[in-house]
Amino acid sequence: MIKRMSAFILAGGIGKRLSLLTTYRAKPAVPFAGKYRIIDFTLTNCVRSGIGEVFVLAQYISRSLEGHLGIGKPWDLDRASGGLHVLHPHLGYRAADWYRGTADALYQNMSIIESLDCEHVLILSGDHVYNMDYSDFLEFHVESGRPVTVAVSDVPWSMTKHFGIATLNSGGKILRFDEKPAAAGSTLASMGIYIFDRRFLMSTLERMKKSHDDLDFGKHIIPALVGRGRISAFRYAGFWLDIGTLKSYYQASLSLLSKRPRLVLSGEGRGVMTAPDDYPPMRLLNDSSVERSMICNGSVIAGSVRSSILSPGVVVEKGAVVEDSVILQDCVIGKGARVVRTILDKEVRVGSNAVLGMGNARTANDIQSEYLDFGITLVAKGTRIPSGISIGTNCLIAGRIPRTDIPDGGSSIAGEKLV
């Protein structure tokens, strides 16, 4: 049981690479695995590790995140001592501004860090999906004798350019740290998870803030501490994923449908805690069929669902087909419609006999080719798809949709914004 550590969850990022999914919500509030939000995994890890004091550093479109968190009751964090606290930038106060970097967010809450009754501070990211016991992490940190420890995880060589990469000696000391290197010397990626001795964290933030207005752990603090020999690495062998892009979000979602998924959502001591819903049980009507899918409460299936994830309240009408898709809360797929390799955000209505997501995956999106080039279509929250039209793949769809077909790689986002 951890009694000497408080946690700070960084949850203020914009999440631009998730495109329309983060137009109206913070990235940690994006739905995942049907009934959860991404931040649920980090919060669950904290509670299961015995951490009873958690601070969430929010900033970008935080209303949806705060609405989900409430007072922390689903995670047993609604307590008089400790509990869950959401912290925002306090504009207008001396030495305060928007959070300009991950470490700057901690610096702006220095008074809270100073007041904590703990020896160690755990710094986490709110947009990661994983199961981890932080007590093992803390034990390693204490035994290392160094004031800072970073958690690292093996990633494929092809992914090293997207992470901070650590090179270690046999004792776990970090010899070198390269932030998003073009040519990496290791496959050990920083998970963006750190344990600091509390007083060392305070002195480091004070000292380095003088040189960096946009003070960041990955870019500034960790490399500097490596150079001083003050940091160790804790190797984490379990499943861990940074939900940073549309592709990683889609692939991680459908990977949950494999026979032996690496991310375990059920079992004793493994269930993910989240805010409860009031939906009734799901219903399968006559002539419906469901294959290798995850269907949440409140869904009504009269058509066919294959290799897909349906969030609460989804309706698939008679003759409709949903395949290789992620359908968020309260969507309706009309009679005879076909939705393939598509992400529908909440409250989308697909008209009867419409076809979405089928086409040539090699045609990248015309607006966001860097994010949407792998063969899915993304439809924004509340969009109405007219009956009978065809929308290809790698398409971005939002707002008022014309009653005409949209080709592969096309976009229709009239009146909407892209982050």
The mean per-residue pLDDT over the stretch 32-49 comes to 95
Measured between alpha carbons, how far is 320 from 52 in angstroms, rounded to an integer? 46
Whether the pLDDT of residue 286 is over 70: the answer is: yes
| Model confidence band, residue 295 (pLDDT cutoffs 50, 70, 90) | very high
Measured between alpha carbons, how far is 306 from 352 in angstroms, rounded to an integer? 19
**Which residues, 6 or more positions from 91, have their beta carbon under 8 angstroms from its beta carbon?**
97, 98
| Model confidence band, residue 94 (pLDDT cutoffs 50, 70, 90) | very low
- 417 and 366 in one domain? yes
- Last-in-domain residue among 222, 255, 288: 255
Q: Are strands 148-154 and 231-235 parallel, antiparallel or unpaired?
A: parallel
CA 236 to chain centre: 19
Whether the pLDDT of residue 62 is over 60: the answer is: yes
**Which residues, 6 or more positions from 131, have their beta carbon under 8 angstroms from its beta carbon?**
41, 44, 45, 238, 239, 263, 264, 270
Whether the pLDDT of residue 17 is over 90: the answer is: no
- 251 and 282 in one domain? no
- 178 and 58 in one domain? yes
The residue segments making up the domain with residue 406 are 277-419
266 in any annotated domain = no
Tell me the Cα Rg of the chain: 22
Measured between alpha carbons, how far is 396 from 189 in angstroms, rounded to an integer? 31
371 in any annotated domain = yes
Q: What is the mean pLDDT of the chain?
A: 92
Whether the pLDDT of residue 167 is over 60: the answer is: yes
Q: What is the pLDDT of residues 104-145, one digit of tens each?
A: 999 999 999 999 999 999 999 999 999 999 999 999 999 999
- 110 and 198 in one domain? yes
Q: How many CA atoms lie within 13 A of 9 on its CB side?
A: 28
CB distance 342 to 250 below 8 Å: no
Q: Give pLDDT, residue 95.
A: 47
Helix (H, G, I), strand (E, B) or coil at 273: coil
267 in any annotated domain = no
Measured between alpha carbons, how far is 215 from 104 in angstroms, rounded to an integer? 5
The mean per-residue pLDDT over the stretch 329-345 comes to 98
359 in any annotated domain = yes
Tell which residue, 210, 226, 82, 216, has the closest CA to residue 149. Answer: 226
CATH, residue 306:
2.160.10.10
Q: What is the pLDDT of residues 390-417, one digit of tens each?
A: 999 999 999 889 899 999 999 998 766 6
Domains held by the chain: number: 2
